[in-house]
Structure 1
Amino acid sequence: MTAIFLLIISCLVHVGSAALCAGLTPYSYEFAIKNNAQFAPAINELKKYPVAMWYADSGGSDAIGALLEACPTDTPVIVVYGLPGKDCAAGYSGGGANYNGDLYKAWLQKLTSQVGNRKVIYILEPDAVGLLANNNCATQNGYLGNLQAAVQILSANANAQIYADLASWAIQDKAVAILKSLGKVTGIAINTSGYHATTEMNQICESYSKQTGGLHCIIDTSRNFNGSPQNEWCNARSGGIGASPTAQTGNPLVDYYLWIKVPGESDGQCYGQSGDAMIGPGAGQFFADGFKSLWDQGYFVAHGFPKIGQSAGSPTMAPTSTPAPTTKTPSPSTPQPSAARTATPAPSTSNPSVPTASRRGQCGGIGYLGPMLCSGSYICTFVNAYYSQCL
């Protein structure tokens, strides 16, 4: 009976995401299974669902071709993250190759030339609108003009759906004015890499939609099953994997639930955060304890799947409701990892079955899908949230 129930649930949750491309399996998942076979059943289930690909100017751009090849008919989800001067307030994810508007436009045109006129969902520049609304540094770095240029370039493809990322902490009236000035956008993406409950995000979506003439929304549900009781943004121990990606959201204003963040990848080391934060590895690296917590407290276990380490026949207790956040304190929508170096020691003996990155090669970062171990004696060194390098 348990096996039949699991099969039914699996079929039900796949229906809504049939048109979304499952894309490339995050390399962190393959790495996790090799290091802990107990994760295999959970990860093999998650691999069935779409996870957004991050197109960043600090690494990860080369995977777009492979993503498109893996999605001949289904719709890929691409996060565009290369704004000159990005993350200008905190600086954790700053840097990158696009240090002026001309380079940014050329970088965007490289992406659109690969995508062509096919159907695609773009999540545009996490936190940019929020920073424009809240911080003068965004104006000083020319965010608005570059965002407008990005929308113009990306919308040349009539089949592109463009959702401007909108942090929940943005000053709303200012954010509304910015959104109205961007040009041809489909809507907004909210809760990117966050933990806030879907019910809370629905309210934010409805508020913005009323003020912008009907913009629609995407909600990142990758880790929001339990909401954010302490408003913790960094490896929240209360987090749980949320509802699977789908277009069947039950809200006419919400076009998709998506997994924009890879469930199980760290937000950063998370020192100095609330009691709800778990100390983890560098941003974008697989976090074993965090993954176990997310899975055991999340959507799939609540719907009958076994917890990590349990057999399919083991009893599980499904929660009767999804707790809502108790406070409304704003929290960032993208991770803000510690600026300290994160060193991943190289294995003492080589294993031919595990790929490694060479000297100065990329070995980690949000949205990165390649090897996470370095060759020889090199160590994986944190550079920013979207790029770690073998040094």
Structure 2
Amino acid sequence: MTAHDHAGSNGTPSRTSRALRPLTVAVVAAALAGSALAAAPAQAATSAYVAPPTALYTPPANSDANQQILDLVRHRQLKDAAGVLAMTRTPQAVWYGDGTPDEVRVSVHRTVVEAARHHALPVLALYNIPGRDCAQYSAGGAADTPQYEAWIDAVRAGIGHLPASVILEPDSLALLPSDCGQDDAQGSKTTERYTEIHYAVDALEPLAGTKVYLDAGHSGWHSVNDLVPRLVAGGIDTATGFFLNVSNYRPDSELAWYGKLVSSCLSHVSDGGSAADCPNQWWSVNDAQAWLDAHVHAAPSAMKHFVTDTSRNGQGPWTPPAGVYSDPQDWCNPPGRGTGARPTLNTGDALADAKVWVKIPGESDGQCTRGTAGPNDPERGYQDPAAGKWFPQQALELVHNANPRLLPEAAGPKPVR
């Protein structure tokens, strides 16, 4: 399950410089000034030609993240300030949901133009599917299929010919209406969900610079055999591929294996096979590999590729205390997590197009109660911020537990002069 709001930066150079001048923290001042510049309005594209992206795009930080950095500096917690700053200045997705078609068209266009100006590839997370998140912490989305299709048309117009990678509707396929009791006896809401995802793929994938990835949950959720038919029904045949682990914590090696199994099963199905025959992630590695060797012969270039969200998986998943909670919500603001591998387009895996930070690290998953009467999160002893709001305590956890580290390790104490 996911929880997000789209947030921008309100960085103000004059206020920043006033706050930092007495402490002369040059690196933090320079980086925050850069954040303010990044928030400036994008300039109009001057040519139809766009150079290929050479890096992933870093959007302006959540304004409350900048405020936390300033507060840490004022309290002389400079290492923490630098850590949160490094986290916010790492390439991340830009989230879109709930806005009107006109609003999303303008905002998407601003993002892709700004990214192209820096020869960077923007990752656009679209999160406006009707009935999203099974009406839980991140409830909302378009009212119906026609409204959603009009919104997708606006996204298409905003992207135009510029490069973009689209993370299409987290939880849309791994969490269908039929999975959470929202469907009717005829399954019409799930049918509509497939229609909506298929429409978005057909609208966006043909754009010259756009790659669309569909929701494949993560390796600790659905079996390969259950997940692949959902991808097929959602239109994976005409999409670039699928995404894994959005807002979750599964380790990289587990995700790479799961992604290979899903991609291989999709190839098997496209050759006329059945998903029921495919190995799943709970087979032994030797047995699964033997099946792959016998049944999958396509080159990686001809198979469906995937991207993984590494924004919070540096310490792997949280294991709730046994027998304490009726619903531990291990996905919802779990304690002690850290940021994971840095975003990159060079994964070293022929099937993995990128590691990306889709979930904005430091933004809350919601007001988690873990099956208790609430309103406090019993793991923390206080009420978590609403979904998508900045969560300062969690931001520091992600920095302190980052793997790899967000900041280089100090060489040792410097002499006092």
Q: Give the deviation of 1:314 after TM superposition.
A: 5.6
Output the CA distance in 2 between the equivalents of 1:109 and 1:135: 28
Asked if 1:263 is matched to 2:263, the reply is no
Q: Give the deviation of 1:273 after TM superposition.
A: 6.1
Letter in 1 for 2:244: I
Letter in 2 for 1:29: A
Deviates more, 1:74-83 or 1:172-181: 172-181
Distance 1:135-1:234 versus aligned 2 partners, 3 A rule: closer
Q: CA offsets, 1:332-391, max 9 Å, x none? A: xxxxxxxxxxxxxxxxxxxxxxxxxxxxxxxxxxxxxxxxxxxxxxxxxxxxxxxxxxxx
Asked if 1:84 is matched to 2:173, the reply is no
Instruction: Provide the residue aligned with 1:187 in structure 2.
Output: 241
Q: Give the deviation of 1:180 after TM superposition.
A: 2.1
Asked if 1:215 is matched to 2:259, the reply is no
Output the CA distance in 2 between the equivalents of 1:175 and 1:134: 12
Instruction: Provide the residue aligned with 2:72 in structure 1.
Output: 36
Q: Give the deviation of 1:226 after TM superposition.
A: 0.9
Q: Give the deviation of 1:302 after TM superposition.
A: 7.6
Q: Give the deviation of 1:27 after TM superposition.
A: 2.2
Distance 1:109-1:299 versus aligned 2 partners, 3 A rule: same
Of the candidates 175, 183, 192, which is equivalent to residue 227 of structure 2?
175
Asked if 1:164 is matched to 2:214, the reply is yes
Q: Give the deviation of 1:150 after TM superposition.
A: 0.8
Of the candidates 87, 95, 102, which is equivalent to residue 46 of structure 1?
87
Distance 1:64-1:203 versus aligned 2 partners, 3 A rule: same
Distance 1:135-1:230 versus aligned 2 partners, 3 A rule: same
Letter in 2 for 1:111: V
- Tell me if the contact between 1:128 and 1:165 (Cα under 8 Å) persists in the aligned partners: yes
Which structure 2 segments of 5+ residues have no match? 1-52, 268-302, 321-329
Aligned length: 292
1:1-391 to structure 2, matched below 5 A, reads 18-37=54-73, 38=77, 39-57=80-98, 61=104, 63-72=107-116, 73-88=119-134, 90-96=135-141, 98-132=142-176, 134-135=179-180, 137=182, 139-141=187-189, 142-168=192-218, 169-181=221-233, 182=235, 183-213=237-267, 214-230=303-319, 232-272=330-370, 277-278=379-380, 279=382, 280-301=384-405, 304-305=408-409, 313=412
Output the CA distance in 2 between the equivalents of 1:186 and 1:276: 41
SS of corresponding position for 1:284: coil
- Tell me if the contact between 1:246 and 1:256 (Cα under 8 Å) persists in the aligned partners: yes
- Tell me if the contact between 2:54 and 2:121 (Cα under 8 Å) persists in the aligned partners: no
Q: Give the deviation of 1:229 after TM superposition.
A: 4.0
Output the CA distance in 1 between the equivalents of 2:249 and 2:371: 15
Output the CA distance in 2 between the equivalents of 1:58 and 1:170: 31
Letter in 2 for 1:163: Y
Letter in 1 for 2:145: G
- Tell me if the contact between 1:131 and 1:170 (Cα under 8 Å) persists in the aligned partners: no
Distance 1:289-1:247 versus aligned 2 partners, 3 A rule: same
Which structure 1 segments of 5+ residues have no match? 1-16, 307-311, 316-391
Q: TM-score, normalised by structure 2?
A: 0.64
Letter in 2 for 1:69: V
Letter in 1 for 2:344: T
Q: Give the deviation of 1:295 after TM superposition.
A: 0.8
Letter in 2 for 1:225: G
Q: CA offsets, 1:236-281, max 9 Å, x none? A: 2231111110012232221111001111111122222699954522
**Higher Rg:** 2
Letter in 2 for 1:215: K
Distance 1:204-1:70 versus aligned 2 partners, 3 A rule: same
Q: Give the deviation of 1:85 after TM superposition.
A: 2.0
Distance 1:43-1:229 versus aligned 2 partners, 3 A rule: closer
Distance 1:189-1:273 versus aligned 2 partners, 3 A rule: farther
Q: CA offsets, 1:192-233, max 9 Å, x none? A: 011111122112111101101132111110010110141721
Q: Give the deviation of 1:304 after TM superposition.
A: 3.2
Give the % identical residues: 29
Distance 1:241-1:134 versus aligned 2 partners, 3 A rule: same
Instruction: Provide the residue aligned with 1:352 in structure 2.
Output: none
Distance 1:105-1:99 versus aligned 2 partners, 3 A rule: same
Letter in 2 for 1:294: L
Deviates more, 1:44-53 or 1:237-246: 44-53
Instruction: Provide the residue aligned with 2:35 in structure 1.
Output: none
- Tell me if the contact between 1:194 and 1:223 (Cα under 8 Å) persists in the aligned partners: yes
